Structure 1
Amino acid sequence: MEARTVSPRSEHPRVACGSPRPDVALLPKAHLHLHFTGSMRHTTLVELAALHGVHLPDALVEDWPPKLHATDERGWFRFQRLYDIARSVLRTPDDLRRLLRETAEDEAAEGSGWLEIQVDPSGYAAMFGGLTPTVELVLDAARAASEASGVGIGVVIAANRTRHPLDAKTLARLAVRYADEGVVGFGLSNDERRGRAYDFEGAFRIAKRGGLLSVPHGGELLGPASVRECLETLRADRIGHGIRAVADPRLVAAIAERGVTLEVCPSSNVSLGVAATALEVPVRRLYEAGASVALGADDPLLFGSRLARQYELVRTEHGFSDAELADLARQSIGASAAPDDVRRRLLAGVDAWLDG
């Protein structure tokens, strides 16, 4: 990944006390941590379930957003079960196209000018004719959604760490095959406790050789060792979550030195019980230690909030100034796979937002 130049964090003064602060939804930014089904609107979930005769549990209807706690295996199983039920309402190509079109519209409303959406095609292949047809459908839908919304969209193909590493190699080869058609990265998701990053080194080697970003999850449910495996073994360009690295200052220093970005998702961390409150998510500590941080919404369908809310949380809970919020936006843009012209446009927009 190319080295990024980040503006000094003290470059702009804080807004005077009492002055109205600019709307974070108008701050241009890149969204780098968003899962495919998890990006769905709740209203769309309910409508598609009714259309296709899918029964939704109360947690996805009357009691939405669901009360979750995934730091133990039983809680993670419930979270995954709800996600699988939500995914089951996507029955036709038009359903997928609708999801991506609406997601792009929502991203535009949140100030996101570039989106990298993560999908494990294995979870949809049975419904859409196999791995390759699924990837082609997602890419085609992403192109259409991008054209309609003005939001640039890249696709991250993700392997499931609870499945065999050979499956991940298959996905990595498929991802590389479509590297010139919208696939920008290769990821690794699901329960960290059920699959070490080390086991997937071969798949990530294939992806890196094919020019894709390495963007595995790590350091959400497990500690610094999980983050270090992503950093050292998978040669991560970005790490999904990565917040547990804060327990190891040397590891955080290595992350900062290598220019690896942590995709921090405050609402997700609280909803899953990783942190008790948004204040306990170590955004400030990581930022002050020099780590690049890109805020993400993870799964708005299950957590109930989208990207702008994450910026509001670090503003209100962690005391980030407008200059620091702008810096976070710049870091998200710099860590993205967005084309140079998109980066320049978004960065100019960040400066304009800050200058008011």
Structure 2
Amino acid sequence: MRDLALLPKAHLHLHFTGSMRVGTLVDLASKYQVRLPQALTDGDPLQLPPTERGWFRFQRLYDAARKCVRSADDMRRIVDEAAADDAAEGSGRLEIQVDPTSYAPFTGGITPAVEIVLDAARTASATHGIEVGVIIAASRMRHPLDARTLARLAARYAGDGVGDVVGFGLSNDERRGNTGAFARAFEIARRAGLASVPHGGELLGPRHVGVVLRDLAPDRLGHGVRAAEDERLLAEIVEREVALEVCPASNVSLGVYHSAADVPLRELADAGARIALGADDPLLFGSRLVAQYETARRAHGFSDQELAGLARSSIRASRASSSTRQRLLRGVDEWLAAPDGNVTAGQGDIVRKGTESVTVV
């Protein structure tokens, strides 16, 4: 088995606050004399029930972390460290998602907040040798008119280069708000050439995935795993080439699935879905991008060839420049061509033999 940290890949589902290192959060909390919940600093992944109460606890912890980000320097540090951590794990492309309204009070407004993140993305790209793009995300918890404001702001900074806004998203509890009411915001973003990347299909099932497909016309779907429960819906996703940003650690921590082995990654891949693995919020879920590839290998029996396929899918689903895309795809081929050494499967790992999965004992 080859080293997954050396596999070139793109990271397309990473939230700004949730990308923070625990040590950075502790530093910022000390700086601003903020008392943090122990769940944010103990290093253990969350384990929450798939209920509104479970989501409330997740949101409370996320908000506690966000309250520690109070200056442009704090924001720049988070982007820099996210890029550094991704580069260390083989990512050649990162598309980090941010809702600027959360940081506007400390930066002079949503426009300066966006400009700070974009400038930090350009600097981090040069420093760490990774191409960083930015996704502006609206929240379901706010009025759809706020989403239109953010879409227009995102459109102003739209581009395909390093440190540009490349997509427009919709996040937070998908059980809240009327999805159709956000359609106008996504129309504004699409007209500017931005990728449509809303969340959907994690906390709610395939019926809501169908609503997102109809109303928001996604290029990529944040999570989307529940589409596996409807064969016809999944076939439509495959036909429309909508990429699924699958985040196994998030699915387990939020109680959508009992264990990593229950996440329908194999079913989605076998159906022909385009999959881009993501870490979502490593600060809360306790694992970064390589760990998601490890889950595919160990819990689902993905071979190195199949893992390379996941990496290629993430690269092709990204808004990376053509030169970066070609370079990363060549790197995936080189990763596969390299000798695999003498590393063997460990006890409890699942390995593929033909069409069967066999557990090593």
TM-score of the two chains, using structure 2 as the length reference: 0.91
Counterpart for residue 258 of structure 1: 240
SS in 2 for 1:222: coil
Counterpart for residue 283 of structure 1: 265
Report how far residue 70 of structure 1 moved.
Answer: 5.0
Distance 1:184 1:220 in 2: 23
Structure 1 runs of 4+ aligned residues shifted over 3 Å read none
SS in 2 for 1:267: helix
Match of 1:88 among 44, 59, 67: 67
1:198 pairs with 2:198: no
Q: 1:303 to 1:257 in 2, by over 3 A?
A: same
Note if contact 2:70-2:103 (Cα within 8 Å) is conserved in structure 1.
Answer: no
Distance 2:71 2:262 in 1: 41
Alignment map for 1:4-83 (pairs within 5 Å): 21-61=1-41, 63-65=42-44, 67-83=46-62
Distance 1:103 1:310 in 2: 16
Counterpart for residue 335 of structure 1: 317
Note if contact 1:65-1:301 (Cα within 8 Å) is conserved in structure 2.
Answer: no
1:300 pairs with 2:282: yes
Distance 1:274 1:327 in 2: 25
Alignment map for 1:1-356 (pairs within 5 Å): 21-61=1-41, 63-65=42-44, 67-180=46-159, 182-356=164-338
Distance 1:267 1:242 in 2: 14
Q: Deviations over 1:236-268 (max 9, x none)?
A: 000000011111101100110111100000011
Aligned length: 335
Distance 1:115 1:228 in 2: 27
Aligned sequence identity (%)? 64
Q: Deviations over 1:117-147 (max 9, x none)?
A: 0001111111211110100111111111111
Letter in 2 for 1:296: G
Note if contact 1:219-1:243 (Cα within 8 Å) is conserved in structure 2.
Answer: yes
Q: Where does structure 1 lack aligned partners over 5 or more consecutive residues? A: 1-20
Counterpart for residue 6 of structure 1: none
Q: Where does structure 2 lack aligned partners over 5 or more consecutive residues? A: 339-361
Report how far residue 66 of structure 1 moved.
Answer: 5.0
Note if contact 2:47-2:252 (Cα within 8 Å) is conserved in structure 1.
Answer: no
Distance 2:213 2:26 in 1: 39
Letter in 2 for 1:134: A
Letter in 2 for 1:340: S
Distance 1:196 1:350 in 2: 41
Question: What is the RMSD of the two structures over their aligned residues, measured on CA atoms?
Answer: 1.0
Report how far residue 59 of structure 1 moved.
Answer: 1.2
SS in 1 for 2:43: coil
Note if contact 2:197-2:220 (Cα within 8 Å) is conserved in structure 1.
Answer: yes
Report how far residue 68 of structure 1 moved.
Answer: 3.4
SS in 1 for 2:136: strand
Distance 1:341 1:64 in 2: 38
Distance 1:26 1:70 in 2: 35
Note if contact 1:49-1:55 (Cα within 8 Å) is conserved in structure 2.
Answer: yes
Note if contact 1:261-1:335 (Cα within 8 Å) is conserved in structure 2.
Answer: yes
SS in 1 for 2:217: coil
Distance 1:187 1:70 in 2: 25
Letter in 1 for 2:214: E
Letter in 1 for 2:265: V
Letter in 1 for 2:216: L
Distance 1:65 1:313 in 2: 17
